């Protein structure tokens, strides 16, 4: 009896030692390796599901802040080496395509003629910082109402003319619930002025319910899809939902 008890004790001690060893290895900047990395990505997808279906409200509005709370500066960011700009800004139009009854191309004046939403909100970056700014634009759902997505449309893909030096384009995949949120807009104004090139001119995606990397700048197209599109950073391991 005593011997058996000792055996269990030793086995458990050994187990605890192995786990402690694993924890020590894990502590050395380790990313999980080929064995654990796919499992971590799987948990991340489960967290996306929890975020979309249990935590996200499709209608509740993010609280708005007073204009006086605006930050002095808004960091700018793109994957290209220099700020992406259009050679012919007047020729720009947003392509609305995919699983829709009425595919269309919308110019900037056409977007500006649609219902306009303006709000001052904190911007949440995945890195952990925030900045407060005012954004104006047309709700994505107003554009969707024009294009009439079919029943098969489950996701939205937003494309950009921002691309790395190697030619890898920036893009994002969205769930419809977040895209159809009343504060998710195609923004053409920042702090009451036309959107500047460093913030995604002529039009960028904006929403206070998503982290910054989900908010596609330098938009070229929004495409309704059945399959879930990935994303520039999402494909590299950032949470796909990216909701806040």
Partner 1 sequence: MDAIAEAVPDAELPARRGVKRHHWIVRLTHWLNAIALTGLIASGLQIYQAFPHFGQKGNVYPVPNPFDMYAFPRWSRLGGWLAGGLQWHFALAWLFLVSGVLYVSYMLISGEWRTLLFRPRDVGPATQQQLYYLRIRKDHPPQGKHNALQKGAYTFIIALGALSLLTGFAIYKPVQLWWLTALFGGYELARYWHFVAVWLFVGFTLLHVALVFLVDPASIRSMITGWYRGRFPSHG
Residues forming contacts to partner 1 in the complex (CB under 8 A) are 1-3, 5, 8-9, 12-13, 16, 19, 23, 26-32, 39-41, 43-44, 47, 51, 55-57, 60, 62-63, 71-73, 75, 122, 124-132, 208-209, 233, 236-239, 243-244
Nearer Cβ to partner 1, position 107 or 191? 191
Q: Which CB atom, from 51 or from 137, has the smaller least distance to partner 1? A: 51
**244: which DSSP letter?**
-
- Here the tokens at position 211 are 């982290």
Residue 98 vs 243, nearer CB to partner 1: 243
CA–CA separation, 180 vs 193, rounded Å?
A: 25
Output 52 or 110, the one with its CB closest to partner 1. 52
Please report how many Cα atoms fall inside a 13 Å half-sphere around the Cα of residue 132, on the Cβ side: 13
Kindly state the smallest distance separating residue 33's Cβ from partner 1, in Å: 10
Question: Using CA atoms in the order 86, 89, 93, 95, what is the torsion angle rounded to 10 degrees?
Answer: 0
Query: Smallest distance, Å, CB 149 to partner 1?
Result: 25
Q: Which is nearer to partner 1, 71 or 191 (CB)?
A: 71
**In terms of Cα–Cα distance, which of 239, 206, 190, 233 is closest to 78?**
233
Q: What DSSP designation does 60 have?
A: P
Distance CA 84, CA 191 (A): 20
Distance in Å, CB of 147 to partner 1, minimum: 27
Least separation in angstroms between residue 75's CB and partner 1 is 6
In angstroms, what is the minimal distance from the CB of 30 to partner 1?
A: 7
Q: What φ, ψ does residue 135 adopt, rounded to 5°?
A: -125, 145
């Amino acid at each position: 009896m005593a011997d058996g008890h000792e055996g269990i004790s030793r086995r458990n001690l050994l187990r605890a030692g192995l786990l402690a060893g694993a924890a020590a290895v894990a502590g050395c900047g380790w990313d999980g390796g080929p064995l654990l990395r796919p499992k971590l990505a799987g948990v991340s997808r489960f967290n996306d599901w929890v975020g979309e279906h249990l935590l996200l409200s499709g209608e509740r509005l993010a609280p708005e802040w007073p204009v006086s709370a605006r930050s002095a500066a808004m960091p700018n960011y793109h994957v290209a080496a220099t700020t992406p700009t259009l050679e012919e800004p007047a020729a720009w139009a947003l392509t609305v395509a995919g699983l829709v009854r009425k595919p269309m191309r919308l110019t900037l004046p056409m977007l500006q003629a649609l219902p306009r939403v303006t709000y001052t909100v904190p911007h949440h970056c995945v890195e952990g910082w925030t900045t407060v700014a005012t954004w104006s634009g047309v709700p994505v759902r107003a554009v969707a109402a024009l294009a009439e997505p079919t029943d098969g449309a489950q996701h939205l893909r937003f494309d950009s003319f921002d691309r790395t030096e190697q030619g890898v384009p920036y893009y994002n995949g969205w769930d419809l619930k977040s895209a159809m949120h009343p504060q998710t807009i195609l923004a053409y104004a920042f702090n009451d002025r036309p959107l500047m090139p460093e913030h995604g001119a002529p039009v960028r995606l904006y929403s206070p319910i998503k982290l910054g990397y989900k908010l596609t700048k330098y938009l070229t197209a929004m495409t309704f899809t059945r399959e879930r599109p990935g994303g520039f950073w999402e494909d590299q391991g950032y949470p796909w939902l990216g909701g806040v």
